[in-house]
């Protein structure tokens, strides 16, 4: 009987460790980026596009045939990037202030605190 009780106690402790309380969902933010990409090379559709924070991919998707896309991933603070793999960005338009094309033209840097952005058009080179 004591052995059974010990086994049950161990399972209860393990269960509690596995389902411990999560951080309050109200304090977890998401970066949400949507838009449309203008391209002339259909190969563009074969490569994923990413949101990158601190060199880690936080969201990934493939653009639709129309060039439209939606990305969403976890975000807490700091800058992050809308990033392409093999195609360079010529220009973009958005109503959000502070965004800029990176020096290698493979990404658009999004400033700290921006959690929702719409790119009206991203034109590739």
Give the Cβ contact number of residue 19 at 10 Å.
Answer: 8
The pLDDT tens digits of the residues spanning 13-29 come to 555 555 554 554 545 68
The pLDDT tens digits of the residues spanning 101-110 come to 999 999 999 9
Mean pLDDT computed over 87-112? 95
Q: Tell me how far apart the alpha carbons of residues 81 and 101 are, in angstroms, rounded to a whole number.
A: 9
Q: pTM (2 decimals)?
A: 0.75
- Please tell me the class of the 24-124 domain: mainly beta
The pLDDT tens digits of the residues spanning 32-48 come to 999 999 888 778 788 89
């Amino acid at each position: 009987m004591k052995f059974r009780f010990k086994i049950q106690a161990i399972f209860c402790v393990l269960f509690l460790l596995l389902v411990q309380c999560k951080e309050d969902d109200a304090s977890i933010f998401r970066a949400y980026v949507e838009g449309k990409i203008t391209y002339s090379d259909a190969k563009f559709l074969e490569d994923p596009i990413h949101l990158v924070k601190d060199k880690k991919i936080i969201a990934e998707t493939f653009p639709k045939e129309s060039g439209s896309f939606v990305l969403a991933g976890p975000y807490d603070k700091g800058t992050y990037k809308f990033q392409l793999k093999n195609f360079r960005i010529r220009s973009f338009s958005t109503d959000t202030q502070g965004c800029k094309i990176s020096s290698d033209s493979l990404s658009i840097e999004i400033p700290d605190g921006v959690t929702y952005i719409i790119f009206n058009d991203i034109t590739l080179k």
